[in-house]
């Protein structure tokens, strides 16, 4: 990374006057985000001899969804065709076969090369038959045992070694607590981003920029994602003019711990139902056989809607873990329950929570977006692999495979220094609570109108409220440069994209479920007020 003090004008200071010219930096490749996808891109670019800066909002590994992954990472083993069929079937036939081909044909090599040989991840092994091999497991909708895992906490066993490995890499610099606020664009080409750290902001110019900013959990009151999942990469790309696709396909996990305090939420893995746990409503009745032949192991979206419906009708849903040795098999979940005072022996209260976005910034098979020198990988990208619904344990793999391909492809461009956007500090009067209050409003609208079931009338209501909200936020963003404000702007842009795409698709498919829109269907609700 080189420092350069002869810089274009880049920002203003709090006085509202133009600031002193500010030092800027360059990098061969700028990666935004330090989850598995960003780290894979950084590794691949470094292997090509590039200097890489990884800017990440995270202050700890837990700031990325990658750390939280439980079940594991799927590989093709010796049956790639079966794996492809499972992915396409889970997507309701909507996955792009070319993208699925790229994922599956690269799966074994990418996992062996990076996770096993480079990072020494110690996946659980099966030794019972004397033939030492990995302990492959299976999750719903997989037709064979193909998921590599470490206990039921695979994410951290991949993520932490990955961060450590790149921390020690001479060509890679990971900057924690550093947010990308906006992309630097000139005539359809992206030249880097404006970075903010500790209240200071400055441009970094890059030969190529890779967005790897993860999911959109913060748009909803209940999510399994870590805080800060505000869709930044998608919003920045959209505002720069990149193509965005499939935003209506938001996957909700059916069994997150139901708590009034979103900070307490945690995921109760599908594997618990796989081992025999049963869903019971507030009257103690097992209800899933009434909804689907596969009962508790029905597709995620079916289970999620059933849980929501039974909660509405009977007040609560619990996961009855008495049929299995819960303490023996899921000690990590037992600990989480006990930390929160949940008596798991009488059942864990559960509710659906936003979990994964299938759509995002539209990319090709190397992660290239529709804008020159801009790539997107991982959950913020739409590769076509997931279509309308995601097969379990394929997102770590998608982040790894596309991260490697994008990082290699991004190599070889010289950074160009151009005029960066002005970020302003003119209005000191922004109320302290502004972003928090607006976020509450945004989440309420998304929860009520753009959640598990979508009625076009509700979506139109949401659109109205979100447009007003974005207008208010834009007015402040034009005068203030605060990370929380940019996150709010990004969340409102992303929420509008989800809502618009949901309105544009009147067919129920995969995670997108359109409900009865007739005037007497009883689904319509009063329009929220401006300050709702």
Ligand X SMILES: Cc1cc2nc3c(=O)[nH]c(=O)nc-3n(C[C@H](O)[C@H](O)[C@H](O)COP(=O)(O)OP(=O)(O)OC[C@H]3O[C@@H](n4cnc5c(N)ncnc54)[C@H](O)[C@@H]3O)c2cc1C
Least distance between ligand X and beta carbon 283 (Å) = 29
In terms of DSSP bridges, do strands 348-357 and 317-320 run parallel, antiparallel, or are they unpaired? antiparallel
Tokens of 378: 């991982």
Specify the DSSP class assigned to residue 186: E
Q: Report residue 174: phi and psi, to 5°.
A: -100, 120
C-beta of 396 vs 465, nearer to ligand X: 396
- Which DSSP string do the residues of 325-340 spell out, in sequence order? -HHHH-HHHHHHHHHT
Query: Longest Cα pair distance anywhere in the chain, in angstroms?
Result: 73
C-beta of 56 vs 368, nearer to ligand X: 56
Specify the DSSP class assigned to residue 223: B
Q: Which of helix, strand or coil describes residue 393? A: coil
Least distance between ligand X and beta carbon 493 (Å) = 12
Distance CA 61, CA 39 (A): 12
Q: How many whole angstroms from its chain centre is CA 370?
A: 20
C-beta of 421 vs 528, nearer to ligand X: 421
Least distance between ligand X and beta carbon 490 (Å) = 7
Least distance between ligand X and beta carbon 323 (Å) = 23
C-beta of 139 vs 425, nearer to ligand X: 139
C-beta of 291 vs 375, nearer to ligand X: 375
Distance CA 232, CA 213 (A): 6
Distance CA 481, CA 10 (A): 13
Least distance between ligand X and beta carbon 406 (Å) = 12
List helix spans (H) across 325-428.
Answer: 326-329, 331-339, 395-410
522 Cβ contact partners less than 8 Å away, ≥ 6 residues apart: none
Q: Which of helix, strand or coil describes residue 219? A: helix
Least distance between ligand X and beta carbon 395 (Å) = 4
Tokens of 241: 């003019």
| Annotated catalytic residue, options 280, 300, 405, 483 | 300
C-beta of 88 vs 256, nearer to ligand X: 256
Q: Contact at 8 Å (CB) between 500 and 467?
A: no
Tokens of 509: 């498919």
Q: Contact at 8 Å (CB) between 250 and 222?
A: no
- Which DSSP string do the residues of 224-250 spell out, in sequence order? SSPTT-S-HHHHHHHHHT--EE-TT-E
C-beta of 232 vs 248, nearer to ligand X: 232
Distance CA 281, CA 303 (A): 13
Distance CA 294, CA 303 (A): 10
Residues that bind ligand X (CB under 6 A): 32-38, 55-58, 63-66, 68-73, 154-155, 179-180, 212-215, 224-225, 228, 232, 267, 356, 378-379, 393-396, 399
Least distance between ligand X and beta carbon 484 (Å) = 12
The answer to whether 300 is a known catalytic residue is yes
Catalytic positions, please? Answer: 300
């Amino acid at each position: 990374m080189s420092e350069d003090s002869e810089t274009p004008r880049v920002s203003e200071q709090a006085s509202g006057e133009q600031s002193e010219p500010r030092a800027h930096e360059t990098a061969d490749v700028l990666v935004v985000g330090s989850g598995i996808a960003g780290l894979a891109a950084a590794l691949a670019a470094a292997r090509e001899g590039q200097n890489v800066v990884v800017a990440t909002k995270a202050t700890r590994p837990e700031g990325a969804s990658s750390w939280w992954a439980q079940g594991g990472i799927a590989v093709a083993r010796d049956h790639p065709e079966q794996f492809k069929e499972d992915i396409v079937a889970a997507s309701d036939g909507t996955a792009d076969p070319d993208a699925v081909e790229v994922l599956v044909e690269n799966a074994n090599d990418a996992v062996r090369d990076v996770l096993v040989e480079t990072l020494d991840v110690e996946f659980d092994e099966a030794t019972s038959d004397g033939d030492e091999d990995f302990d492959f497991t299976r999750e719903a909708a997989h037709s064979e045992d193909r998921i590599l895992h470490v206990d039921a906490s695979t994410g951290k066993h991949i993520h932490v070694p990955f961060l450590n490995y790149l921390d020690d890499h001479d060509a890679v610099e990971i900057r924690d607590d550093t947010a990308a606020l906006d992309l630097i664009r000139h005539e359809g080409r992206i030249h880097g981003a404006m970075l903010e750290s500790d209240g200071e902001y400055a441009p970094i110019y890059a030969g190529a920029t890779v967005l790897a900013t993860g999911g959109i959990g913060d748009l909803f009151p209940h999510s399994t994602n870590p805080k800060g999942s505000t869709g930044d990469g998608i919003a920045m790309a959209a505002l720069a003019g990149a193509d965005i696709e499939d935003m209506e396909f938001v996957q909700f996990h059916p069994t997150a711990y139901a708590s009034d305090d979103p900070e307490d939420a945690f995921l109760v893995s599908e594997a618990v139902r796989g081992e025999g746990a049963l869903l019971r409503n507030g009257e103690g009745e097992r209800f899933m056989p009434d909804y689907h032949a596969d009962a508790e192991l029905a597709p995620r979206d079916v289970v999620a809607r059933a849980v929501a419906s039974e909660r509405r009708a009977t007040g609560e849903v619990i996961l009855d873990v008495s049929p299995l040795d819960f303490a023996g098999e899921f000690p990590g979940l037992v600990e989480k329950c006990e930390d929160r005072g949940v008596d798991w022996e009488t059942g864990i209260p559960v509710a659906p929570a936003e979990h994964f976005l299938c759509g995002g910034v539209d990319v090709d098979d190397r992660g290239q977006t529709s804008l020159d020198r801009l790539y997107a990988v991982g959950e913020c990208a739409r590769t076509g692999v997931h279509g309308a619904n995601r097969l379990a344990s394929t997102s770590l793999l998608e982040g790894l495979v596309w991260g490697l391909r994008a990082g290699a492809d991004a190599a070889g461009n010289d950074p160009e220094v151009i005029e960066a956007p002005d970020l302003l500090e003119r209005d000191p009067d922004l109320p302290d609570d502004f972003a928090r209050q607006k976020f509450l409003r945004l989440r309420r609208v998304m929860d009520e109108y753009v959640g598990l079931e979508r009625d076009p009338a509700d979506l139109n209501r949401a659109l109205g409220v979100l447009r007003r909200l974005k207008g208010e936020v834009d007015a402040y963003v034009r005068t203030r440069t605060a990370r929380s404000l940019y996150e709010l702007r990004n969340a409102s842009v992303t929420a509008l994209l989800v809502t618009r795409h949901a309105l544009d698709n009147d067919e129920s498919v995969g995670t997108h479920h359109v409900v009865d829109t007739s005037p007497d269907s009883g689904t319509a609700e009063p329009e929220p007020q401006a300050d709702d």
